[in-house]
Amino acid sequence: MEKLKLSFLAIQLLKHVIATDGKKETNEQGQEVPSARRLNGVESAQRRHFNKAIEKPVGEHDAKIKEVVDGYNELRKNKVEQLKKSNKKKKDEKDDVYEGRINKLMQEDKDVTDRFKEINKIGDEMNKEVVEIELTQETLDVLKKYFTAYGEEVGFGIGDDEYVVEIVELLK
């Protein structure tokens, strides 16, 4: 077993690469979605091993993110209620115009905008946190194979540069 230290964004990128082939397909609702990667039996088992290895740390990370976001959503909900009490709907005002007025007031509210910026900063920091996962050499080989293929066939986004370098260093 190999111990790897990966950031959550690197884990997300690896999970995406092993789950999709970078192509698009149309689903039953007519929407374009990433095409699932087809793997042979051995490779599929290694994907399951990878998913199992990241399950606990990713679950804990997602729970922390959800807690932070839920706090922000609660603040927004309370502010909307407060604004609606102090800014009653006018008799001839349409619902969408009234909601637009309330939304504008929300965007101008310093508490809400400051908290939004703070949450984004917290989320960015949490996504950069590094965790240790254990993988077999076989799993690493499958990850390396498909990470390399994805990079050659599809390519990575500009925003992924930092994590691509992190992953390349670990998969050497």
Q: How far is CA 100 from CA 49, 75, 94, 106, in A?
A: 48, 19, 10, 10
**Predicted confidence (pLDDT) per residue in 142-156, tens digit:** 999 999 888 877 778
Domain residue ranges of the chain, discontinuous segments joined by +: 2-171
Is 132 in contact with 56 (CB distance < 8 Å)? no
CA-to-CA distance for 9 and 103, rounded, in angstroms? 32
CA-to-CA distance for 89 and 119, rounded, in angstroms? 31
pTM recorded for the entire structure: 0.80
**Predicted confidence (pLDDT) per residue in 154-169, tens digit:** 778 777 788 888 888 8
**Predicted confidence (pLDDT) per residue in 70-108, tens digit:** 999 999 999 999 999 998 988 898 999 999 999 999 999
* Residue 164: predicted pLDDT: 86
Is 157 in contact with 32 (CB distance < 8 Å)? no
**Predicted confidence (pLDDT) per residue in 15-42, tens digit:** 999 999 888 899 999 999 988 888 999 9
pLDDT value at 67 more than 80: yes
